[in-house]
Structure 1
Amino acid sequence: MSRSARHGSPALERWGRHVARRAKAIVIFWLLFIVVGFAVALGATGTPSLFSRLDSGEIVVAGENQDGRDLLAQGGGSGFSTYTQTLTGVDLSDPAVASAAASAVQSLSAIEHVESAVNPFVVPGGPTTPDALRFVLDGDPASGGFATVVTFDEGNTAEQEAAATDEVDAVFDSLAEDTGATGDQRGGLRALVDRIIEQVKIDGQRGEGIALPVSFLVMVVVFGGFLAAGFPVLGAIASIAGALASLLGLSYLLDLDASVVNVVTVLGLGLCIDYGLLVVSRFREEMRALLQGAPVADATHAQVVAATAATMNRAGRTVIFSALTVAISLSGLLVLQIPFIRAVSVAGVSVVLIALAVALTLIPALCVLGARRLLKRGTETAADVGVFSRLAERVHRMPWVVIAAVSAVLVVMALPALRLELTSSGPELLPVGTPERTFYEDFRAGYPLLAGAEVLLVSRAPVSEVQAWAETAAADRPGVESVDPARELGNGVVTLGFQTGDSGTGEASRALVDSLRSDRAPFDAYVVGQASGIVDFRATVADRALWAAGLVVLATLVLLFLMTGSVVIPIKALVMNVLSLGAALGVTVWIFEDGHLEGLLRFASTGALENTIPLLVLAFGFGLSMDYEVFLLSRIVELHEQGHDTRSAVTLGLQRSGRIITSAALLMVIVFSGFAAGDLLIMKQMGVALVLAIVIDATLVRMLLVPATMSVLGSANWWAPAPLRRLHERWGITE
């Protein structure tokens, strides 16, 4: 006897009847929610918009690198509030140039909210002195180039700094004209961050602009009508509105990186389309089962209510399981002591809950209101024989061959992941040729002492002691091309810069960081730089990764056990997910780390993946893989509970869910392709990796490996120890 029979109408069935009776009110609520959500998130209500509250930059974690940066900031060396102009084609020996440059510094220093301004012509002794050569192109007065650096007050608001920047630009314009410069570039860290945030917004709008119309067209083909296709798209729009509004709220509790917005909104978009597809398809199936070929005009309101109740009891249960698996995989990231990752986790879970709410309320309510039009192509029930059942039968005939072949392919695809390298890019996140990236590349090449060293030692030791050590021992460290003179900043903070020539993230910088940390200087000091940050990031992940993975695995095993009553199926699902995600990560490394497909995907390889990509891909990919596993298993379990043996349950389950899984995967690929079409490197890597994970999982794994392994295991699929069987009989979630 089923639990439904023992305990009466299941809660989800009752919920479906409730939604059916209040469909109009639910739809009106969600339409108002969409309007309010977008208005609040975009600042149309007069409050700060979400995008005005975002930040972007290097992902930092607790550790030596961050401690050193904190000390550096105490000395006034953060560099975030500087704005720099570089001029070329100038005669530095011309007295008129010197006069114009000195006059410009006076004008810049007089601007409100500007703390200081400096160029080589105001340094005592002029542009040929050692201190001034930092501001001269290539350190050579004959090069015809020099830089003017403006530092804003640290306490400025964004509006104050923007106004001051406009006045600074006016002075820079005059300086370029008065010196007869032929080249004029300007930039700063804040400008770079603002450009990255703007690119996030552009990429997000572009991705959603591609995903929504293309997904709609695909669903028109899948459903055979505009109305049915429009329901999941309307749900996706509601999800985006809710995601943006929830992120705005979270921005007051957490520091949100700009890339978090695209990650979670696109996740919500994809999940809503997937869940909408599942719910609408099941509703049509239930209506056809009730009508048994009768004309759609004969459908009664009672039948519509009954179909909605059955849909919620079955597809609703699948959606809840799916949402829980995605939420569990994202919640595992909370264990990691990384603010950015935790923000993604919290924001991602909130968006999953919104997608779940849409699937359990708005989509079924729309189905109720459009029930008759959803069935305009006929009310005949679908055949149990088709493409997917025939595929399952072929797999059943040679399961060991399928298992061996698919497993071999996945292992080969995963091999590049063994040489995974991580990095933390700055300007490299932007496309080649972007003005902000070009400025930084040229600035670092032409003004290495001014741009900052690739690896920095920060200390409170006397500057003479640091310089003495630098002259005797520092230059012999691995990866060092040159050592900058020790500099004393404010508050007794001293820095010693190491030039490695690899922008701070390459092998030379990493080797130097390892050397400086393992063989310490004879005074207390912190090793700072992008390579140092990468070392801390990896250490932080390694310290908590097993806990995070263990919690996700345990929770997933419990959830799938409650769903299936088996301990074999959950373990098998986890093993296949590892293979699937390993393959996706391996191909991602082959593309982005090795530089393949640069022209096709429009990116320039940095020789590594951004350090957050593996974590995000594994978390999101695991959740989405389990999403399709739940879609398939829910049908197989349902059929098995109805008395089908394992082979026929798998065959019929694949036939009845294969079209949904394939369509859902295609739609999710379209959604995440919006990332790949963007220009921001980290988003492109994320998009490509998730597209690969979805394609691999929905084809090789769900269509081939799952039926093959279940065919081999037979009745053993449903095995569980006696105590667990009794536990499932009492607490299991079944029909």
Structure 2
Amino acid sequence: MLSTLARAATRRPLTVILLWVLFLLLGFGLGTGFFARLSDEVPNVPGTESERAAQYIDRADPTGESITAVVEGPAVFDPALRDEVDRAVAEVRDVPGVAAVPDPFTTPGLVSEDGRALLIPVTLEGGLDDDAEERAVDDASARIHQIDAPDVHVSGGPLLGQQLGERAQEDVANAELISLPVVLVLLVVIFGGLRAAGLPLLVAVGGIAGAFLALFGFSQVTDISVYAVQVTTMLGLGLAVDYALLMLVRFREERRHTDDVVVAVHRTVAAAGRTVLFSGLTVAVSLTGLLVFPSVFLRSMGLAVAAVVMIDMLAALTLLPALLTRFGGKIAPAKTRQKGEEGRVFARLARFSARNRVAVLAVVVPALLVLALPVTGMRISIGDARQLPTDTEARQLYDTVEAHFPPGAGVDPVTVVLRPGTDAAIAERIRALAPGAQSRELPGGTTVVELPPSGSVDGGAATELVREVREVRGDEPVEVTGVAARLVDFREMLADRAPWAAATVLVGIFALLFAFTGSVLIPVRTIATTLLSLAAALGVVVWVFQDGHMAGLLGAEGLGALSLTAPPLIIAIAFGLAMDYELFILARMREARRLGEADQEAVVTGLRRSGRVVTCAALLLAVVFGAFMTGGFSPILQIGLGLTLAVLIDATVVRMLLVPATMALLGRHAWWAPKPLRKAHDRFGLQEEAPQRIRVTEPV
């Protein structure tokens, strides 16, 4: 397959380039249409009790969505301001699609006790199509914003998703403006020329276009979360640069041995292309664990990110060879130096770790375990508007309500559905669980009881209230829904499916690494060291964003829990990225062994020849992730920090210290496999011709 791709790229490079140009136009044209379809709904899990109850209420209750406005001023009862509000309320009631707007001055609880703020809830009609709902929301919001007051903020409901989508689009654009120039400068430093540095960026642009097209495609059949934008774009950009960097370094090395550009491209695809292929498959397999979860959010994220990885891999194996065929003749070959002078730092690290393997393991492993300790106390939550940057309207509305209204004001209640036939005594016990419980009747004899929780919408008190209701109801036809109930069900879903997800990923990764190396011990060692670095990175994320240590330096605050989106995405993506660097190193080790080097020296050679690529790739990926952390959206900050730390820890501490130490500890047994598996690998594993011994020097 690799030789077929190489032949296609070198025989018709202009055709391949033009096809990718068309792909880019589609990605940045049609693909950007998904920004209008983003959803802020994450914790919905099909088939759970909370989801069934919510769907029942939606069918039985004709009430539509709602948005909320807050008006703040020195005195909201000032006659001039009151006239402004009254006129706005009257006009919003006449907006097509608006069902009800209460009078904030006469409705209890809508004016703050200090008289400096008031709430205006706007309820929409049920059954509106998407276009009618959007027009109603836009018209109502625009009219409320015309109120002449010091501060007017409108958000919530469908408007929140719209605001988050606009912010996500802005954050992606800003991150690209920051990261692409920095990446270009670093690539110029790495390659010493603008022409070679520009090619990875062209591949990276293809990765971004692929991310947009993948998200647009999935948005046609399922909801796409606002979190997907930054995650898929940052990964598409970062992996494209990684793969292109690996291919270009190999191409410049091959150019030292031949003046024929086409031959150099073929050799590059045969060697580095194999690593890129396995790397892409490994990252994709790491993301298949997300498909085990019934959550639409996790499944769609897994599919979208896996699609982006495959597009990056395809770009590196087709677009880049075509570009090299067309323009590679003007790229300077790698400088030739005496053997032993190249990668001296990495070679010394490898020899040091191999000689002192027990000491290295005794120091590094406990240090990573200490960093991982906070994971034992990790909590996840849906979160509230505090996750948003302070300059977003939803966050400003939240802060205003917090400043002027009692704690818990505006918090979504725990909603209990009492079906016909529910025992009256049980119903009364449920109502008694929370002061201020309110009831309403639905058609068909169903009663809905709303229990206001103390504290935040997904805090310990709210989730405990859900559990109490479920304990009290016994066998009665009672179901619980609401934000807190969705969180409880989401946590249970994660706990139930996590072992299956882990097993799926580990088996898949083991199979791929065995096909790549022919060893059963190297996959086990790789998985163990990767999990160690991943736990360390996740532990730091918990320490910062959950416990609040140094969160202010990142423009965030300690929230007492991580966003429920962060841990599964950090684990799945970081695990795949770690496999990237492992494969970069293993490919060089394996090549050295095939050239006849002893096992221990092959480890040193592998680190010496791949250490620079791995370090540069990790640095470039960290720049990309860091740029996406400038948006200030807490879940993205958590994911960005987790991935950045995972990449840096894995590419430095793990790959440069733990890998040579553990390989030295295993010795000649590292490449061992039982005889039946060895025969299976010889027959079915990916094989290639033995490398030639002419490579006695290294690229710079």
Structure 1-normalised TM-score? 0.87
Please say which of residues 549-558 and 423-432 is displaced more in the overlay: 423-432
Determine which of 465, 468, 487 is the counterpart of 2:440.
487
The aligned counterpart of 2:244 is: 276
Of the three residues 4, 26, 37, the one matched with 1:36 is: 26
In 2, Cα distance between equivalents of 1:311 and 1:58: 43
Could you list the per-position Cα deviations for residues 22-70 of structure 1 after superposition, in whole angstroms to 9, with x for gaps in the alignment?
Answer: 223322322332223212223xxxxxx2211222234211312222322
Is contact 2:256–2:333 with CA below 8 Å preserved after alignment? no
Is the Cα contact below 8 Å between 1:85 and 1:187 reproduced in 2? Answer: no
CA drift of 1:699 comes to 0.7
Query: SS at 1:496's partner residue?
Result: strand
Amino acid at match of 1:112: P
Distance 2:633 2:88 in 1: 36
Task: Give yes or no for contact 1:610–1:682 (8 Å, CA) kept in 2.
Answer: yes
Q: 1:457 aligns with which of 410, 416, 421?
A: 416
Contact 2:75 2:116 in 1 (8 A): yes
Matched residue, 1:658: 611
* Corresponding position of 2:598: 645
Q: Distance in 1 between matches of 2:98 and 2:444?
A: 21
Q: TM-score, normalised by structure 2?
A: 0.91
Change (3 A) 1:453 1:23: closer
Distance, in Å, in 2 between the alignment partners of 1:105 and 1:18 is 65
Classify the secondary structure of the residue corresponding to 1:209.
helix
Distance 1:657 1:193 in 2: 44
- Residue aligned with 1:451, SS: coil
The aligned counterpart of 1:388 is 346
User: Which amino acid is the alignment partner of residue 123 of structure 2?
Assistant: T
Give the whole-Å Cα distance in 1 for the aligned partners of 2:87 and 2:370: 65
Q: Does 1:362 align with 2:362?
A: no
Correspondence for 1:678 among 604, 610, 631:
631
AA aligned opposite 2:108: L
Q: Which residue of structure 2 aligns with residue 321 of structure 1?
A: 278
Q: Distance in 1 between matches of 2:405 and 2:655?
A: 54
Alignment of 1:403-482 (within 5 A): 403-443=361-401, 446=405, 451-460=410-419, 465=424, 469-470=427-428, 474-475=431-432, 477=433, 482=435
2:298 paired with 1:345: no
Amino acid of the structure 1 residue aligned with 2:299: R
Q: Given the alignment of the two structures, is residue 25 of structure 1 paired with residue 9 of structure 2, yes or no?
A: no
Deviation of 1:220 (Å): 0.7
Asked if the contact 1:88/1:146 (under 8 Å) is kept, the reply is no
Shift of 1:344: 0.7
Residues 1:254 and 2:239 are matched in the alignment: no
- For residues 436 and 571 of structure 2, the distance between their equivalents in structure 1, rounded to whole angstroms, comes to 40
Task: For 2:666, give the aligned amino acid.
Answer: L
Q: Determine helix, strand or coil for the equivalent of 2:30.
A: helix
Confirm or deny: 8 A CA contact 1:396 1:707 kept in the other structure: yes
What's the offset of the Cα at 1:598?
A: 2.0
Q: Conserved in 2, the CA contact under 8 Å of 1:119 and 1:147? A: no
Offset, 1:221 = 0.7
1:71 aligns with 2:66: no
Change (3 A) 1:312 1:78: farther
The correspondence for 1:536, drawn from 466, 485, 489, is 489
Q: 1:72, 1:493 within 8 Å by CA — same for their partners in 2?
A: no
Equivalent residue runs for 1:234-313 within 5 Å: 234-290=202-258, 299=259, 303-313=260-270
- Which residue pairs with 1:45 in the alignment? none
Kindly state the Cα deviation for residue 492 of structure 1 after the two structures are TM-superposed.
4.7
Q: Report the secondary structure of 2:95's partner residue.
A: coil
Distance change (3 Å), C-alpha of 1:485 and 1:697: same
Q: 1:190 aligns with which of 131, 135, 158?
A: 158
- SS of 1:137's partner is coil
Whether the 8 Å CA contact 1:285–1:381 is kept in 2: the answer is no
Between 149-158 and 217-226, the greater mean CA deviation after superposition: 149-158
When residues 715 and 484 of structure 1 are mapped into structure 2, their CA distance, relative to the original with a 3 A threshold, is same
How many Å separate the matches in 2 of 1:107 and 1:161?
A: 17
Shift of the alpha carbon at 1:105? 5.2
> In the alignment, which residue of structure 2 is the partner of 1:57?
41
CA distance in 2, matches of 1:446, 1:320: 57
The equivalent of 1:554 in structure 2 is 507
Please, which runs of 5 or more residues in structure 2 have no aligned partner? 689-700
Matched, 1:133 2:108: yes
Percent identity (aligned): 37
CA distance in 1, matches of 2:132, 2:498: 43
- Report Cα offsets for 1:104-146 as digits up to 9, x if no partner: 655443332222222256xxxxx3xxxx3144435xxx84754
Kindly tell me the number of residue pairs found equivalent between the two proteins: 685
1:486–1:461 Cα change, 3 Å: farther
Task: Specify whether residues 489 and 134 from structure 1 end up closer, same or farther in structure 2 by C-alpha distance, changes over 3 A only.
Answer: farther
Distance in 2 (CA, whole Å) between partners of 1:716 and 1:611 is 41
Q: Counterpart amino acid of 2:593?
A: H
> Quick one: which of 146, 149, 153 aligns to 2:125?
153
Q: Aligned partners of 1:493, 1:626: CA distance in 2, in Å?
A: 53
Determine if contact 2:578/2:650 at 8 Å carries over to the other structure. Answer: yes
Aligned to 2:551: 598
AA partner of residue 137 (structure 1)? S
Distance 2:627 2:408 in 1: 40
Q: CA-to-partner distance for each residue in 1:198-235, whole Å, 9 max, x for gaps?
A: 12111111222222111111111111111111111100
Q: CA deviation at 1:99?
A: 8.7
Q: Which runs of 5+ in 1 are unaligned?
A: 1-10, 43-48, 122-126, 291-298
AA matched with 1:23: P
Q: Is the 8 A contact 2:422 2:478 kept in 1?
A: no
- Inter-partner Cα distance in structure 2 for 1:441 and 1:451: 12
Q: In structure 2, do the counterparts of structure 1 residues 507 and 553 end up closer, same or farther at CA, with 3 Å as the change threshold?
A: same
- Describe the SS at the equivalent of 1:247: helix
Name the SS of the counterpart of 2:632 in structure 1: coil
Cα pair distance change 1:493/1:107, threshold 3 Å: farther
What letter matches 1:277 in structure 2? L
